[in-house]
Amino acid sequence: MKKYYIVFDEYERGIIINALNDKRNALIKKGRYTDAVAEVLLKVINAKQKRFKIRYTED
């Protein structure tokens, strides 16, 4: 299984969490399974946060 790393700032992370939670709530309202959405939501919430510096270089 491949692992992927994506960089988000706090604002973007909040948008993703809210969108996944809204999708989960909509599925609950329709009486459908929420396993996949809940799993991804928990992964985003529990993801490690790492600080790093970005250096801009001129070509």
pTM of the model: 0.76
CA proximity to 35, closest of 24, 25, 46: 24
Sign of CA pseudo-dihedral 47, 48, 53, 58: negative
Per-residue confidence (pLDDT) for residue 59, from 0 to 100: 67
Q: Where are the domains of the chain?
A: 1-59
CA proximity to 24, closest of 11, 13, 15, 33: 33
Render each residue's pLDDT in the chain as its tens digit; 59 residues: 898 888 888 899 999 999 999 999 999 999 999 999 999 999 999 988 888 787 888 86
